Structure 1
Amino acid sequence: MATLAPPAGPFALGTFSAPGGEPFPGLLVTGRVLNLSQALAWAPSGMRAVLERWEEALPVLSVLAHEDASDWRPLEGLRVHAPVEPRQVFQSGANYRQHVIDLEVAHRSPDDARTVEEARAEIAAVMDRRAAEDLPYVFIGLPSAITGPYDDVVLPSWAEKPDWELELAAVVGRPAYRVSVQEALEYVAGYTIANDLTDRATVFRRDMKAIGTDWLRCKNAPGFTPLGPWIVPAESIADPGDLRVTLKLNGETMQDESTKDMIFGVARMVSYVSQTARLLPGDLVLTGSPAGNGMHWGRLLRDGDVMEGSITGLGVQRTRCVKETA
């Protein structure tokens, strides 16, 4: 397990299991865990069941967090799973200004006549236009790609250019459909960390370029979305638009950017998704990744690499890459 960084606020939520035991939803307070399937009157079977009654649960959790009962157990010795199993995962692309500029430069074709400076200037103008026209870019991810915050990440044999993308993820706490930007954050129960891995070699279809991006192939291999370690309640995060997103690869900092660089903030993303889809408790809205991915550095993921991702107040996840075996 990674060196633990305490989450912001008086408590956080997660999914845990004892050796040989079944996963359970837990309340985390200063290195201790309370089994919520036993502590809450309605005996939730998992974290999603807690989130489905979030407005009722939150004040109860606040009381439990200050109780010194004998049912608490030390975090040490428990396995930490992905904090929630969502029904839907909504992923945001091209939502960090500098990240998009870097990708545009990295993906230039060999016959592109533009200089690096010209390419950067052109894509910067596109970002300005997108912001002015208020058009986020969202696509669908698979819940089956989610894995725990300390689990190994298997690199598929077909993935030629696996890359990292650390992101702030909003966790939905109430059904939301066609909500306004002004009210959108009222539907967010909390925040967690997601590493939205991408195989850069399969982002674009090679057989028919007109088809465009292939998000199924490039992003949804099993384990390609390490999630967690915790869900930190929204009330404990003063401003999701001012958090530090940091990813280290084998101890070297690769991503280190503020969510201030997002083109569209959390409220705008949640509202935008809800105009088309009905958001459900436990669903995830990933908000995009900042500059510093592997394509920028010319260094993609390899067998044995260790990624350590952190976001202000949300803890640290640590995952090791392993090559797929036959």
Structure 2
Amino acid sequence: MTISDRLDAPFALARMREGEGVVLALVAGDRIRSLAGEVDELNAFLAEPDWRRLAALADAPGDWSPLADAVLTAPVVPRQVLQTGANYREHVIELVVAGLTQDPTRDPDEARAFAARMMDDRAANGEPYFFIGLPACVVGDDVPLRLPASSDVHDWELELAVVIGREAFRVDREHALEHVAGYTIVNDITTRDLVFRKDMKEIGTDWYRAKNSPGFLPTGPFLVPAQFVDPADARVRLELNGETMQDASTSDLLFDVAALISAASQTHPLLPGDLLLTGSPAGNGQHWGRFLQDGDVMHGTIEGLGTQVVRCIGEDRR
């Protein structure tokens, strides 16, 4: 049994490969069963979820199989993927301090205090920073992460991801969490040397090229119902080849889940099954000066959501 072969929550949804296709499944502990005939379509279920019925199935006898024997793929089929940038307070403070202290006349403690005031003001008066990803990049950890040969600076960003339930359009913060079906894990892979345009710096960031290579959104393995997750204080930890690179709590988010949903929904409806990524904490490859390589293995764990395992394969250079 690997680290991802057991679920700590009472039950969760997953999608598993069965023959040439993929079926929706129910996970309970170290067991899994198909939901064929019970749930017809994932996003329709998430729009009006009947968690009580699934809870009853989780406790009932049936055609259960060992979870360790199942091949899981991404547990969601989003129509839209929204990503959030610069949303962990301590992470952004570190980035600001790194830039400010390039001036040798500036005291590091003064720089940190200045950056902290900036972040507190942003949390109180600012707005979240969103960009969009391609749903086609969402894959399960059954698919190895193929690193494009065009760059040597592919980076990791482990994130808590919100799975939308009932459609959310122009909702306020007070009611935003009513539109959450559950949560999952996403590793938002980024090619760092493509983030900023070199041919026309005035354009700014190029998230399309930097974040949307095939398989750049490893997702899952589980979709855990919202009732079993505390998004306000969940530990987020990424290990690269057994070494901890990211280790933080969602309590450090500048904009919490309710604020993100409310802000994102003001522009366009969030649809059942959509993914809303909440941002990544400090400790990515850019921080360590170490990027993803052929043969690397990442274990991404978020409290209550299990662990995803991502294996990296270098693309042949031709």
Q: C-alpha separation between the residues in 2 aligned to 1:319 and 1:138? A: 25
Query: The residue matched to 1:37 in structure 2 has which SS?
Result: coil
CA shift at 1:61, angstroms? Answer: 1.0
Q: C-alpha separation between the residues in 1 aligned to 2:210 and 2:33? A: 38
Question: CA 1:126/1:92 → structure 2, altered by over 3 Å: closer, same or farther?
Answer: same
Gaps of 5+ in 1: none
Question: CA 1:265/1:114 → structure 2, altered by over 3 Å: closer, same or farther?
Answer: farther
Alignment partner of 1:59 out of 39, 44, 52: 52
Question: What is the root-mean-square deviation of aligned Cα atoms in Å?
Answer: 2.1
Q: C-alpha separation between the residues in 2 aligned to 1:114 and 1:95? A: 29
Tell whether 2:162 aligns with 1:167.
no
CA shift at 1:115, angstroms? Answer: 5.0
Deviations 1:213-265 (A, max 9, x none): 1110111111111100101100111x211010000011000000011111011
Please, what TM-score do these two structures have when normalized by structure 1? 0.91
Q: C-alpha separation between the residues in 1 aligned to 2:209 and 2:289? A: 21
Question: CA 1:116/1:48 → structure 2, altered by over 3 Å: closer, same or farther?
Answer: farther
Residue matched to 2:286: 295
Q: C-alpha separation between the residues in 2 aligned to 1:300 and 1:121? A: 30
CA shift at 1:8, angstroms? Answer: 3.9
Q: C-alpha separation between the residues in 2 aligned to 1:116 and 1:281? A: 49
The 5-angstrom pairing of residues 57-206 of structure 1 reads 57-69=50-62, 71-104=63-96, 108=99, 117=108, 120-206=112-198
Alignment partner of 1:227 out of 207, 219, 222: 219
Residue identity in the other structure for 1:50: F
Tell whether 2:235 aligns with 1:244.
yes
Residue matched to 1:23: 22
Q: C-alpha separation between the residues in 2 aligned to 1:254 and 1:261? A: 17
Q: C-alpha separation between the residues in 2 aligned to 1:73 and 1:5? A: 12
8 Å contact kept, 2:13–2:75: yes
CA shift at 1:267, angstroms? Answer: 0.8
CA shift at 1:111, angstroms? Answer: 7.8
Question: CA 1:4/1:92 → structure 2, altered by over 3 Å: closer, same or farther?
Answer: same
Deviations 1:1-57 (A, max 9, x none): 842364343201110013x331001010122222112234xx33xx33432332xx3
Query: The residue matched to 1:39 in structure 2 has which SS?
Result: coil
Which stretch of structure 1 is more off in the superposition, 71-80 or 185-194? 71-80
CA shift at 1:68, angstroms? Answer: 0.8
Residue matched to 1:14: 14
Please, what TM-score do these two structures have when normalized by structure 2? 0.93
8 Å contact kept, 2:100–2:111: no
Question: CA 1:23/1:124 → structure 2, altered by over 3 Å: closer, same or farther?
Answer: same
Q: C-alpha separation between the residues in 1 aligned to 2:107 and 2:57? A: 56
CA shift at 1:277, angstroms? Answer: 1.3
8 Å contact kept, 1:2–1:318: no
Aligned residue pairs: how many?
A: 316
Residue identity in the other structure for 2:57: L
Gaps of 5+ in 2: none
Fraction of identical pairs, as percent: 52
8 Å contact kept, 1:26–1:36: yes
Question: CA 1:66/1:141 → structure 2, altered by over 3 Å: closer, same or farther?
Answer: same
Question: CA 1:183/1:14 → structure 2, altered by over 3 Å: closer, same or farther?
Answer: same
8 Å contact kept, 1:83–1:231: yes
Question: CA 1:76/1:196 → structure 2, altered by over 3 Å: closer, same or farther?
Answer: same
Deviations 1:146-174 (A, max 9, x none): 11134310111123311110000010011
Residue matched to 2:269: 278
